[in-house]
Amino acid sequence: MTWLKLFPTLAMIVILLVAGHPVVGAAAAFPTENVTIEVWWHEYGPFTAYVKQLIEAYKKLHPNVTINPTIASSTDMNQKLTVALAAGTGPDIMDADASYYVAYHAKGVLEPANLEVFGVKSYEELAGRYVSGGLASGTFDGKIYTLPYQGNSMSLFINNKLFAEAGLDPKKDAPKTWNDLMALCPKLKKVEGQRTVRKAFEFPYHSPRWQLQDLQPMTEQFGGKILSDDGKTAYLNAPATVKALTLWRDVTKACGDPKNTKNTASNPNQDYLDGFTAMWITGPWATPQVQASPIKNDFTVVGFPQVDPAKPHTMVYGWAWGVNKNRPEKNKLVAWDFVKFMLSKPDEWLAKAGFVQPVKGVAETEVAKKFPFFDVHMKDVQTASWYLRSEQVNEIAQAVGRAVEAVVYDGADPKTQLDAAQAAVEKVIKK
Amino acid sequence: MGVIATAAPRAPRRFLRLNLTAKQALFGYAILLPTVAILLVFRFLPMLQAFWISLHEYDLIRPPRFVGLENFIDLLWDPLFLNSARVSVAYVVFSCVPVWVLSLGLAVLFNREIRARNLFRSAAFMPVVMPMVVNALVWTFMYHQDGVVNTILGWFGIDPVPWLRSSTWALWAVIIIGIWRATPYYMVIFLAGLQAIPNEYYEAAKIDGADAWTEFRHITLPLLKPTTLLVMVMSVIVAMKVFAVPLIMTGGGPADSTRVLPLFIYQTAFEFFKMGRAAAMSVFLFAAVMVFTLFQIRLFSRGED
Interchain contact A191–B (C-beta under 8 A): no
Q: Could you give the CA distance from residue A236 to residue A155 in angstroms, rounded to a whole number?
A: 24
Look at A398 and B273 and tell me if their CB atoms are within 8 Å.
Answer: no
Interchain contact A89–B (C-beta under 8 A): no
- Whether the per-residue pLDDT at A19 is higher than 50: the answer is no
Q: Give the C-alpha distances (Å, rounded to integers) separating A18 from A9, A359, A383, B226.
A: 14, 39, 53, 86
Number of helical H runs and strand E runs in chain B: 17, 2
Q: Which residues of chain A neighbour B247 with C-beta distances below 8 Å? A: none
Q: Could you give the CA distance from residue A285 to residue A355 in angstroms, rounded to a whole number?
A: 5
Using CB atoms, pick whichever of A83, A262, A402 lies closest to residue B60: A83
Q: Give the C-alpha distances (Å, rounded to integers) separating A308 from A177, A305, A419.
A: 7, 9, 26
Rg of chain B on CA atoms, in Å: 27
Q: Please name the helix (run of DSSP H) or strand (run of DSSP E) that holds residue A277, with its range, or none.
A: strand A277-282
Backbone angles phi, psi at A45, to 5 degrees: -35, -65
For residue A261, give how far its alpha carbon lies from the nearest alpha carbon of chain B (Å).
Answer: 8
Q: Which residues of chain B neighbour A261 with C-beta distances below 8 Å? A: 165
Whether the CB-CB separation of B232 and B96 falls below 8 Å is answered with yes
Q: Could you give the CA distance from residue A151 to residue B170 in angstroms, rounded to a whole number?
A: 35
**Interface probe, candidates B165, B168, B263, chain A, greatest A C-beta count within 10 A:** B165
Record the pTM: 0.84
The reported pLDDT for the residue numbered A18 is 39
* Mean pLDDT, rounded, of chain B: 90
Q: Could you give the CA distance from residue A126 to residue A130 in angstroms, rounded to a whole number?
A: 8
Whether the CB-CB separation of B183 and B106 falls below 8 Å is answered with yes
Look at A394 and B272 and tell me if their CB atoms are within 8 Å.
Answer: yes
- Whether the per-residue pLDDT at A15 is higher than 60: the answer is no
- Whether the per-residue pLDDT at B259 is higher than 50: the answer is yes
Please give the average per-residue pLDDT across A40-52, as a whole number: 93
* CATH class of this structure's domain B72-304: mainly alpha
CA A274 to chain centre: 25
Work out how many CB contacts closer than 8 A connect A with B. 73
ipTM of the complex: 0.81
Q: Which residues of chain A neighbour B61 with C-beta distances below 8 Å? A: 82, 85-86, 107-109
DSSP bridge pairs for A140: A143
Using CB atoms, pick whichever of A107, A194, A394 lies closest to residue B62: A107
**Interface probe, candidates B67, B138, B145, chain A, greatest A C-beta count within 10 A:** B145
Query: Which of B264, B250, B90 is CA-nearest to residue B164?
Result: B250
CATH 1.10.3720.10 domain range(s) in chain B = 72-304
Q: Could you give the CA distance from residue A80 to residue A364 in angstroms, rounded to a whole number?
A: 38
The reported pLDDT for the residue numbered B276 is 96
Look at B273 and A103 and tell me if their CB atoms are within 8 Å.
Answer: yes
Q: DSSP class of residue B274?
A: -
Tens of pLDDT along B177-236? 999 999 999 999 999 999 999 999 999 999 999 998 999 999 999 999 999 999 999 999
For residue A377, give how far its alpha carbon lies from the nearest alpha carbon of chain B (Å).
Answer: 30
Q: Could you give the CA distance from residue A213 to residue A317 in angstroms, rounded to a whole number?
A: 8
3-state secondary structure of A304: coil
Give the residue with greater pLDDT, A254 vs B12.
A254
> Which CATH number, 2.60.120.10, 3.40.50.970, 3.40.190.10, 3.40.50.300, labels domain A34-153+317-385?
3.40.190.10
At A115, which amino acid appears?
L
CATH fold of A155-315+387-430: D-Maltodextrin-Binding Protein; domain 2 (3.40.190)
Q: Give the C-alpha distances (Å, rounded to integers) separating A195 from A198, A259, B158.
A: 9, 11, 12
Tens of pLDDT along B36-85? 999 999 999 999 999 999 999 999 888 999 999 999 999 999 999 999 99
CATH 3.40.190.10 domain range(s) in chain A = 34-153+317-385, 155-315+387-430
